[in-house]
Structure 1
Amino acid sequence: MMMYRRLFQLFWGLALYGFSMALMLRANLGLDPWDVLHQGLAPRLGLSFGMTVNLIGALVLLLWWPLRQKPGIGTVCNIVVIGTAVDISLMLLPDPQGLGWRFGWLVAGIVLNGIAGGAYIGAGLGPGPRDGLMTGLCRRTGWPVKRVRTGIELAVLATGWLLGGTIGIGTLLYAGTIGWIVHHALPFFTLAAPRPTPATG
């Protein structure tokens, strides 16, 4: 039963993550670094935003091989589910009218993004490809997480901006709050590993 619970939490967390990204896209007030990259690449690749998310996730996963990272089922589902959920959500969500609504959608998107991140990470079925890249680089280089994470985010953000991705107040708000939200959401959603059944006889 615990595995079913983990899978259920994984999938709704990933779906909610995609929905939260769609909210931030519709708000059009700035995106997180990876989505700035996805937005800049999508028209150049001739793909939807969501399919670009999935493609970049798969390409990042290839970088795990020299880092000797091992994906889990959550890693593979991350690549497939999030981008698909973004595209479905974008088809259903209208464009918010007025700055107040746009800002409200932005804040809701960031909060839900942090909650969703805590949910799918807490399921304990494998990190997303981008998170695995960070932890793999930390292990191989010995550099602290903050240095590796900051370097990756700045490189991705700069590349996305040069390609035409949207940077704005949402980018700053996301950077300043997402860590705090995930930090407080993660303990609530972290599922304890099942204990082995004692041997009998």
Structure 2
Amino acid sequence: MWMLTLKKWRWIFFVVGQMILSLGIAMTIKGQRLGIGPWDVLHVGLYENIGLTIGSWSVITGLIIVLITAAFQKKLPKYGTWLNMLLLGSFIDLFNWLLPDVSTMTAQIFMFVFGVVIMAYGIGLYVSPNMGAGPRDSLMLLIVHKFNVSVKVVRTSIEVIVALLGWALGGPVGIGTVLIALLIGQFVHYAMPQCQRLLLRAAGEQSTEALL
């Protein structure tokens, strides 16, 4: 019987994960009265002040981060990092165009809450194949290794700085911004093993060592 190889399944999960993550981000942007994720606050702020699109700013900031981390590490990142940068921004713009604007508070809450859950599973799907960290995660890991600081401290510090910068540019900061910063990691903690098991089952593998 014809079956896809593990490598092909890994790429499928990686790309589909990018799409689902982007859908979740776009949903939180549509429910932005509650606030949005720290990096998205920055992207929206840049969009409102300079133009282009929110997805374009996601790509541009991702490219800047990739170049900085590559310069410090003296090596180029994996293909997956470049694809993450390009696909995420493109899909964010696509879903921002496809999803309707919502005005009532009930609809905004619905879009935000489900957007956060969808984001978590999108992260789980694209990270589980281990095809390369996204630009922002690469920056976090670089700082952790360079300065021997905990991941929690570095991630929180980066997101606070980015959110404040985005807020200064007029990006939507609210209770949702805090909730995303605090809770997304917890949701991903549960989503990641589920996505890994799904990938291994689809590829007919038995152990997560196959993903290394």
Fold shared per TM-score above 0.5: yes
Instruction: Give the counterpart letter for 1:146 in structure 2.
Output: K
Work out whether 1:34 is the aligned partner of 2:50: no
- Mapped to 2, the partners of 1:51 and 1:66 lie a distance apart of 23
**1:15 Cα deviation from its structure 2 partner:** 0.8
**1:187 Cα deviation from its structure 2 partner:** 1.2
- Mapped to 1, the partners of 2:88 and 2:79 lie a distance apart of 14
TM norm structure 2: 0.87
- Mapped to 2, the partners of 1:34 and 1:128 lie a distance apart of 13
- Mapped to 2, the partners of 1:110 and 1:183 lie a distance apart of 13
**1:193 Cα deviation from its structure 2 partner:** 4.4
- Tell me the alpha carbon deviations over residues 30-76 of structure 1, each in whole angstroms, 9 at most, x when there is no partner: 01110111111123332101111111111111111243165212211
Query: 184, 192, 200: which is aligned to 1:186?
Result: 192
Instruction: Give the counterpart letter for 2:146 in structure 1.
Output: R
SS at 1:140's partner residue?
helix
Aligned to 1:153: 159
Aligned to 2:100: 94
Query: 53, 57, 75: which is aligned to 1:52?
Result: 57
Give yes or no for contact 1:67–1:137 (8 Å, CA) kept in 2. no
Give aligned-pair identity as a percent. Answer: 34
Give yes or no for contact 1:52–1:83 (8 Å, CA) kept in 2. yes
Q: Which runs of 5+ in 1 are unaligned?
A: 196-201
Instruction: Give the counterpart letter for 2:58 in structure 1.
Output: V
Instruction: Give the counterpart letter for 2:31 in structure 1.
Output: A
Aligned length: 195
Give yes or no for contact 1:14–1:78 (8 Å, CA) kept in 2. yes
- Tell me the alpha carbon deviations over residues 113-155 of structure 1, each in whole angstroms, 9 at most, x when there is no partner: 0111111111100000000100111011111111211111111
- Mapped to 2, the partners of 1:150 and 1:172 lie a distance apart of 10
Instruction: Give the counterpart letter for 1:58 in structure 2.
Output: L
**1:174 Cα deviation from its structure 2 partner:** 1.1
The aligned runs of 1:1-201 (5 Å cut-off) are: 1-28=5-32, 29-68=34-73, 70-190=76-196, 192-194=208-210
SS at 1:167's partner residue?
coil
SS at 2:210's partner residue?
coil
SS at 1:194's partner residue?
helix
- Mapped to 2, the partners of 1:126 and 1:87 lie a distance apart of 22
**After the TM superposition, which of the residue ranges 133-142 and 36-45 deviates more from structure 2?**
36-45
Give yes or no for contact 2:159–2:181 (8 Å, CA) kept in 1. no
Q: Which runs of 5+ in 2 are unaligned?
A: 201-207
User: What value does the CA root-mean-square deviation take over the aligned residues?
Assistant: 1.5
